[in-house]
Amino acid sequence: MKTQLSYQMGDGHNVTGEIPVSYDNLVFKDIEENIVFKKSDISNHYDWVMSSLGDSYKGVNKYTYGNILQAIKTIVDCKKNHLRSPAKDQATAYLHGEMLFSSVTIQKILILFGIKMSVPQIMADADKVLAYKPQPLWMQKVLGGIN
């Protein structure tokens, strides 16, 4: 099973493609291998991913993966330096709502960076942003736009 993705990146690139459901496992293992074990940082890994030839990195769209790395970097930076920043909530909502990462996977990835967030906190942060997103068209047609 795959999910169709279409997302406008901050640097103007349109990312479209199919993202495997187990994408969050790939991200966790790649971060663990390239950042934790090799003692690198997320900025260097982002640069490495974006400099790879072509549009893919390890078989997935490198622009999408770059956005995921930036979202993780935002959460880590906000938890360490900017505790009340809404950027953390937006990044969490992107990972949870757009990329369909489970709360537990987000929690495990953040632990790799020394950040502890409970599953209810991850859900609450994502909900702050996702609650204000418009409902999908299919939900409006079928359910009459429940709020």
Q: Contact at 8 Å (CB) between 21 and 1?
A: yes
In the structure, what pLDDT confidence band is assigned to residue 49 with cuts at 50, 70 and 90? very high
pLDDT: is 8 or 51 the higher one?
Answer: 51
In this prediction, what percent of the chain has a pLDDT beyond 70?
A: 77
Which pLDDT value is given to residue 21?
Answer: 52
Which pLDDT value is given to residue 136?
Answer: 65
Cα 133 versus chain centre, distance: 17
In the structure, what pLDDT confidence band is assigned to residue 5 with cuts at 50, 70 and 90? very low
pTM of the model: 0.75
Contacts 24+ apart (CB under 8 A), 24-27: 24/99, 24/100, 24/101, 24/102, 24/105, 25/105, 26/58, 26/60, 27/65, 27/68, 27/101, 27/105, 27/109
Which pLDDT value is given to residue 138?
Answer: 66
